[in-house]
């Protein structure tokens, strides 16, 4: 449920192809070692089950779902646009493999988390009033607000049904329901942050932001990584370690996204220079800088909406950028610590690490 | 998710107090034999758990939930308005008792179905653009559309979490997820019916309407009646019989509601004379009449939106009213058949029958 349009740019970014050490294992094609190939492999594994699930929906709702997955255009014609990279489904498959299961043991989990992710995008786009996603009108703009609310509800219900139908699905539903609760909590905080003052005792503190990011972005990533393992019958400690890793990843990802939203290269991010400052977003580097002695001046600049160059320079001078990068690094280290403490299958864990790195290490 | 404002008038109607044969059993106070007393008893049993669950939500979301339950006003001050009658929670408690369990075995089920019902009201009010509910602004009007979407999502997630946390919750989540899928399917059909023509091959047939009503109104009533029994470990046939009874009840209820929406006494229904005709609703009696030789003339009148007196008279003359009442009676008989075929505890089953009758037998 994080700032959706930018997140998609990020997960859809063309990464430098890095070769990752790995060998052979079940469900994996030899040589598919780079991260894009891992994403492709997981997508191919999950797609039939995801299509089958979406195909069980009411035809109208099914079309809205297929549109948001990038499978079709409005009216049902084959899609020209491409969908998301499928990061969450890949985490679910790799999580199952890392817990010693075959990748197919993670498929139901992958379907559930992709459905929940899409539900949250549909509803967040309504809440945030976002008009476009992946260079197409958002579902509420293409089909209307009411239908978009309904389609989100249908995807949510389908995710629960998918998990509940699994053997051992009770534990899976419990894992998902914790993430869902956190997702909503994070979105509520994020919506309320917009109304809080820039300075003074009511201002948003960096630690509140961190909690929001963990809930809004990290909870579903953690759930994705853990859920395949949970359904595969992994030990609770293993699932908990994967969940923790995903949550830290979410915070790191969000904060890197914040840095890119101010200082990122528009040619890479697809976003205007200082876009987040223009939109007066209370992002991590901004919140850190507001707490500095320069906070009052920065607040006045942000409030006016003008001179974003000066504001960006002041935020950097106040230590906002450096603090954000340090914070992101701390959470990446925590990802590593979480994974290192769990008894994971070496090769799958390596794929998982590569994927996590791929998501966060962008040109910042 | 049925035509929400009128349904609330209905479930909130002051019934003629009827004395129901019953004796003593666990969890029940002696003498509380009439239906309003049964509703009160169930509400008192469920309320602490429902409040506890809602209290675990994000404070802002929790306030929106409490507002929609009729517990508080906007801002959190104690409520002046009254909430719903709690029909679904009563069905869950009575369903558990009918399956031979103590009423408290139905409490988690009751909490879950009340949360799902409230979620569906919040989202349906957005989809239908309804401005008022129980003589107060709807949540989207009081708090905004985005926050109302979010609050609905939170209630949905909380319902799933509540069931998943129960021992044997997997079967409960499966039961709920079937109802949720049907709920969304029924709402989708209902939204699409509005765009279908009055006559010709694309017109809405009475059997499509029946399926819509079962999904939109019956599925959650059936789930409510079955869920307490499912969590209490009742035999699948018992739960299935309760579910069937609730579904037939939903169809009967909806069709009686349709008759009241055209010919009901405004002093009792709180709705204007011929309100449903003025709003051009494709209700059961209308659909039957449209299929008669007078269909073309009725369609022209409804399309013009004028002369609703004439339209109502023609619909009655075409057999729409009589067919609707016969259909409602068929479904009420099916409720009875469903209950009679299951091994239910006599006294609780009698309370359940009284409640079902109370909901449908209104002055039509």
Residue closest to B113 by CA, chosen among B163, B70, B55: B163
Render pLDDT for B135-145 as a digit per residue (tens, 0 to 9).
899 999 999 99
Q: How confident is the model at residue B55 (pLDDT cuts 50, 70, 90)?
A: very high
Q: What's the pLDDT tens digit per position in A257-267?
A: 999 999 988 87
**What pLDDT does residue B362 have?**
64
What CATH number has the domain spanning B30-354?
Answer: 1.10.600.10
> Residue B181: closest CA among chain A residues belongs to which residue?
A157
Distance from CA of B147 to the nearest CA of A (A): 7
Q: Which of residues 1-60 of A touch B (CB under 8 A)?
A: 57-58, 60
Which residues in chain A have Cβ-Cβ distances shorter than 8 Å to B165? 174
DSSP 8-state code for residue B199? S
Would you give the DSSP letter of residue A138? -
Q: What is the mean pLDDT of chain B?
A: 88
DSSP string for residues in A194-258:
TTS-SSSTTSPPHHHHHHHHIIIIIHHHHHHHHHHHHHTT--HHHHHHHHHHHHHHHHHHHHHHH
From chain B, the residues in CB contact with A176 under 8 A are 160
Burial of A65 (0-12, 13-18, 19+ CB in 10 A): buried
Q: How far apart are CA B9 and CA A98, in angstroms?
A: 55
For residue B361, name the pLDDT band (cuts at 50, 70, 90).
confident
Question: How sure is the predictor about A305, in pLDDT bands with cuts at 50, 70 and 90?
Answer: confident
Mean pLDDT of A127-141: 92
Q: Mind listing the pLDDT tens digit for each residue in A60-89?
A: 999 999 999 999 999 999 987 677 889 999
**CATH topology (fold) of A4-360:** Farnesyl Diphosphate Synthase (1.10.600)
CA distance to partner chain B, nearest, from residue A121 (Å): 12
8 A C-beta contact, residue B347 and residue B23: yes
Using the beta-carbon criterion (under 8 Å), do A154 and B188 form an inter-chain contact?
Answer: yes
The predicted pLDDT at position A30 comes to 36
- Residue B307 forms contact with A (CB below 8 Å): no
> Which residues of chain A lie closer than 8 angstroms to B164, CB-CB?
170, 173-174, 177
DSSP A104: G
Phi and psi angles of residue A78, each rounded to the nearest 5 degrees, phi first: -55, 145
Least confident window among A29-43, A144-158, B101-115:
A29-43
Task: Kindly state whether A219 is in contact with chain B, defined as any CB-CB distance less than 8 angstroms.
Answer: no
- Which of A88-102, B7-21, B297-311 has maximum average pLDDT? A88-102
User: Considering only CA atoms, which of B247, B253, B246 is closest in space to residue B327?
Assistant: B253
Chain B CB contacts of A180 below 8 Å:
153, 157, 160-161
With CB atoms and an 8 Å threshold, state whether A154 touches B181: yes
Mean pLDDT across the stretch B107-120? Answer: 97
Distance CA B170, CA A164 (A): 6
Whether A156 and chain B come into contact, CB under 8 Å, resolves to: yes
pLDDT at B81: 67
> For B261-310, how does the pLDDT look when each residue is reduced to its tens digit (9 = 90+)?
999 888 777 777 788 888 889 999 999 999 999 999 999 999 888 888 99
pLDDT of amino acid A58: 96
Share of chain A above pLDDT 70, in %: 90
Residue B259 has pLDDT above 60, yes or no: yes
Q: Which of A27-31, A103-107, A350-354 shows the lowest mean pLDDT across its residues?
A: A27-31
Contact A177 B170 (CB under 8 A): no
Tokens of B14: 């002051």
Least Cα distance to A57 among A43, A42, A71 occurs for A71
pLDDT of residue B33: 52
Q: Which residues contact A321 (CB under 8 A, 6 or more apart)?
A: A259, A262, A263, A285, A315
| Cα separation of the two ends of chain B | 22
The model's confidence at residue B202, banded by pLDDT at 50, 70 and 90, is very high
* Cβ atoms of B258 and B277 closer than 8 Å: no
Contact A165 B153 (CB under 8 A): no
Q: What pLDDT score does A279 carry?
A: 85
pLDDT on residue B135: 85
- CA dist B170 → A166, B30, B249, B321 (Å): 10, 35, 26, 43
Q: Which residues of B140-163 are buried (b: 16+ CB within 10 A; e: fewer)?
A: bbbbebbbbbbbbbbbbbbbbbbb
How far apart (Å, rounded) are the C-alpha atoms in residues A257 and A285?
11
Closest CA to A348 of A124, A183, A101, A178: A101
Closest listed residue to residue A13, CA positions, set A93, A87, A114, A95: A87
B173 lies within 8 A of chain A by CB? yes
Q: What is the mean pLDDT of residues B224-232?
A: 94
The backbone torsions φ and ψ at residue A137, rounded to the nearest 5 degrees and listed phi first, read: -60, 140
Q: Stretch B73-87: mean pLDDT, rounded? A: 85
Q: What are phi and psi of B202, to 5 degrees?
A: -90, 5
Give pLDDT tens digits for A42-59.
999 999 999 999 999 999
Those residues whose C-beta lies under 8 Å from the C-beta of residue B144, and which sit 6 or more positions away, are none
**Minimum CA–CA partner of B167 in chain A:** A170
Q: How far apart are CA A25 and CA A347, in angstroms?
A: 8
User: Under an 8 A CB cutoff, do B181 and A165 touch?
Assistant: no
Distance in Å, alpha carbon of A162 to nearest chain B alpha carbon: 9
- Dist CA B253 CA B201 (whole Å): 28
- What are the tens digits of pLDDT across the range A97-127? 999 999 999 999 999 999 999 999 999 999 9
Q: How many residues does chain A have?
A: 364
Q: Are B149 and B64 in contact (CB under 8 A)?
A: no
Beta bridge partners of A137: A132
Spatial CA neighbour of B234 closest among B349, B100, B352: B100
- Residue B26 has a pLDDT of 36
- Judged against a pLDDT cut of 80, whether residue A10 lies above it is answered with no
CA–CA separation, A362 and A357 (whole Å) = 9
pLDDT tops 50 at residue B337: yes
Using one digit for the tens of pLDDT, what is the confidence trace for A215-240? 999 999 999 999 999 998 899 999 99
Whether A169 has a pLDDT exceeding 90, the answer reads no
Mean pLDDT (chain A) is 88
Contact A121, B141 (CB under 8 A): no
Every domain of chain B and the residues it spans: 30-354
């Amino acid at each position: 449920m994080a700032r959706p349009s930018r997140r998609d740019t990020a997960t859809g970014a063309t990464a430098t192809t890095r070769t990752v050490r790995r060998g052979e294992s079940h469900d994996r094609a030899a040589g598919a070692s780079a991260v894009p190939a891992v994403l492709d492999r997981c997508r191919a594994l999950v797609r039939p089950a995801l299509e089958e699930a979406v195909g069980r929906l009411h035809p109208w709702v099914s079309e809205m779902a297929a549109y948001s997955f990038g499978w079709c255009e409005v009216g049902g014609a084959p899609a020209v646009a491409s969908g998301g990279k499928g990061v969450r489904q890949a985490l679910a498959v790799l999580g199952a493999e890392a817990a010693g299961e075959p990748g197919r043991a993670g498929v139901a989990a992958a379907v559930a988390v992709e459905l929940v992710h899409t539900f949250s995008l549909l509803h967040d786009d309504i809440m945030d009033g976002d008009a476009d996603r992946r260079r197409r009108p958002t579902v509420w703009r293409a089909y209307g607000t009411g239908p978009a609310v309904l389609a989100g509800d249908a995807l949510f219900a389908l995710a629960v049904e998918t998990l509940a139908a699994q053997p051992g699905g009770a534990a899976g539903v419990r894992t998902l329901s914790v993430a869902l609760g956190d997702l909503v909590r994070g979105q509520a905080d994020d919506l309320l942050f917009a109304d809080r003052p820039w300075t003074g005792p009511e201002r948003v503190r960096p630690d509140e932001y961190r909690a929001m990011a963990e809930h809004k972005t990290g909870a579903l990533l953690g759930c994705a990584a853990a859920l395949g393992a949970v359904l595969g019958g992994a030990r609770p400690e293993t699932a908990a370690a994967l969940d923790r890793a995903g949550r830290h990843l979410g915070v790191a990802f969000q904060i890197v996204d914040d840095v890119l939203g101010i200082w990122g290269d528009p040619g890479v991010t697809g976003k205007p220079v200082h876009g987040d400052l223009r939109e007066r977003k209370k992002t991590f580097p901004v919140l850190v800088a507001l707490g500095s002695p320069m906070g009052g001046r920065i607040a006045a600049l942000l409030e006016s909406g003008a001179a974003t160059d000066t504001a960006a320079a002041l935020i950097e001078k106040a230590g906002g950028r450096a603090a954000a990068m340090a914070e992101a690094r701390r959470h990446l280290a925590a990802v590593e610590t979480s994974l290192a403490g769990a008894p994971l299958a070496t090769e799958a864990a390596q794929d998982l690490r590569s994927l996590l790195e791929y998501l966060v290490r962008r040109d910042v």
